[in-house]
Structure 1
Amino acid sequence: MKTIQVDEHITLKLVDHERDSLSRWFSWPERLKGIENYSEYIKVTQFLYERKLAAAYVIHVNKKVVGSIGFNQIDIEAQSAQLAFWLSERFYGQGIMTRSCKALIEHAVYYYSIYAFEVLVNSENTKR
């Protein structure tokens, strides 16, 4: 996994563009409006990450933000984590999420010694 600096405005712009699609699967898009809300989300996410309770990463293709992936919950003691992700519809069907999930799981096994992963999926999402 590679670290890059991402402008909050760029990521929020993608969320705004994908809001209708994301709202079909998640409750958070309606709460994440405006740069102030997004900046607060970043602060909370950083706080949780520093305590190894959660982690969030952007997915990028050619330095362009196309989605997000992470762990909503990390339980170091139980060696488990809950995986969550989303991808811009324009990038569906290219194997991006498959590669991202594989990379994140490998990262979690190596850095956190996590061996059990839970993925919550919407049973109506049968496209991919």
Structure 2
Amino acid sequence: MFFHKIDQELSLKLIELKDAERVFQLTEESRAYLKNWLPWLDSTTSVEDTKGFIQMVLKQYAENKGVTTVISFQGEIVGVASYNSIDWTNKIAYIGYWLGEAYQGKGIITRVSKALTDYALRELDLNKVEIRAAVGNDKSWGVPTRLGFQEEGVIRQAEWLYDHYVDHVVYGMLASEWNK
């Protein structure tokens, strides 16, 4: 079971089926906000949909292909953060995250991303961490920028977002840079 304490008020733990109701509630509370940047809101309309997602990512975890966690802030689940995938051949982890709207602006995602980057590069002995964010999603791309990630380029029309494509900016951090 994956558990990582970041600081006195923040920790990550492997998502479990028992978290489905809270994660779905958080999704519902922040649906309009999250829909600006996340493509899965229309297909997540019940706790059962959230349970299906959790089952999928637990299978991914069991196969050592990714880790999806709930973000606990002051003892309450406030979002989800993950290694969406881990490419063991090329030693790259791809970080993804979302946070309930009420918890924005507290530095949570920056601290979570720093901890996930550090864990990937030091504990998992990976060579690179990538974070991708849609062009225009200033809050999301601010995270890797604050952590010193390098902007590596833009992937045009990388994601279909309900009725239009969005470009993604790719940010990367190499182990050799992080250890400095």
TM-score (norm 2): 0.65
Letter in 2 for 1:61: F
Name the counterpart of 1:44: 56
Give the superposition deviation at 1:43.
0.8
Give the superposition deviation at 1:41.
0.9
Letter in 1 for 2:36: R
Q: Does residue 83 of the first structure (1) align with residue 83 of the second (2)?
A: no
Residue by residue, what CA displacement relative to the aligned partner does 1:51-89 show, whole Å, maximum 9, x if unpaired?
A: 121211111111111111112121011100211111122
- Aligned mate of 1:101, from 104, 113, 137: 113
Letter in 2 for 1:125: N
Separation (CA, whole Å) in 2 of partners of 1:91 and 1:36: 24
Separation (CA, whole Å) in 2 of partners of 1:33 and 1:13: 10
Name the counterpart of 1:73: 85
- Aligned mate of 1:117, from 113, 126, 129: 129
Letter in 2 for 1:102: K
Does the Cα contact within 8 Å between 2:120 and 2:129 map onto a contact in 1? no
Higher Rg: 2
Give the superposition deviation at 1:7.
2.8
Residue by residue, what CA displacement relative to the aligned partner does 1:2-47 show, whole Å, maximum 9, x if unpaired?
A: 4487532111100111111111101112212212111111111000
Separation (CA, whole Å) in 1 of partners of 2:134 and 2:48: 29
- Aligned mate of 1:61, from 45, 48, 73: 73
Name the counterpart of 1:29: 41
Separation (CA, whole Å) in 2 of partners of 1:24 and 1:111: 34
Does the Cα contact within 8 Å between 1:57 and 1:69 map onto a contact in 2? yes
Bigger proportion of residues as helix: 1
Separation (CA, whole Å) in 2 of partners of 1:117 and 1:30: 29
Does the Cα contact within 8 Å between 2:121 and 2:128 map onto a contact in 1? no
- Aligned-residue RMSD, C-alpha: 1.8
Task: Give unpaired runs (5+ residues) of structure 1.
Answer: none
